Amino acid sequence: MVKAKVQPEIDEITRELNTDPVVSLDFDYAAVMLNLALATEDAARADKKSSIIAEIQRLRREKTDQEEEKQRKEEEKQRKEEERKQKIQSTQDLITSAQTVLNNSAATKEEVEKAIKELKALVSAAADSVEKSV
C-alpha cells in the first residue's frame, strides 16, 4: 500500500532522470521516497520530491554546460588549426613568389625589392610564429 502511494512520485523522478541529457543520482531516490511515506506526512515527501527533481535539473544543466563548453573548445581548436594552415599556405606562396621573382632575370627592381622586403619580414617573424616554422 505504501509503495502504491509513492509510486507516481517515484515514476515522476524516474522520468525526470531519463530526460535528455540523462543524468544519475548518487543515492536511491526510490528508497528515500518509500521511507518518507512510512515516516512523515505528505508535505514532507512532496518537498523531498521537489528537491530531488531540482537536483536532477541542476545536474542536467551542469552536464549541458560542460558539453557546450567542450563543443566551444573543439570549435576554437579547429578554427585555430584552420588559421594556422592558412598562414602556412600564405607563407609558402610568398616564398614561392619571391623565388620566382629572384630567379627571373627580367624582374624589375621594384619586384626584386618587394620580394626581398617580404623575405626579410619572414626572417624577422617571432620565433614561435607559423611564418618562422616555414
Grid cell listed for 14: 524516474
- Rg over alpha carbons for the chain, rounded to the nearest Å, is 33
Q: Using the 8-state DSSP alphabet, how is residue 127 labeled?
A: T
Q: For 12-39, what is the mean pLDDT?
A: 87
Find the helix or strand (DSSP H, E) in which 7 lies. helix 2-18
pLDDT above 80 (res 48): yes
Going by C-alpha positions, the residue among 25, 22, 13 that lies closest to residue 64 is 22
Going by C-alpha positions, the residue among 107, 129, 110, 108 that lies closest to residue 118 is 110
Please report which confidence band the pLDDT of residue 105 belongs to, taking 50, 70 and 90 as the band edges: confident
Q: For 58-75, what is the mean pLDDT?
A: 95
For 30-59, b/e burial (b = at least 16 CB within 10 A) is bebbbebbeeeeeeebeebbeebbebbeeb
Which pLDDT belongs to residue 78?
96
d(CA 107, CA 110): 8
The answer to whether the beta carbons of residues 103 and 96 sit under 8 Å apart is: no
Which pLDDT belongs to residue 128?
63
The answer to whether the beta carbons of residues 121 and 132 sit under 8 Å apart is: no
What phi and psi values does residue 104 have, to the nearest 5 degrees?
-90, 110
Q: Using the 8-state DSSP alphabet, how is residue 41 labeled?
A: -
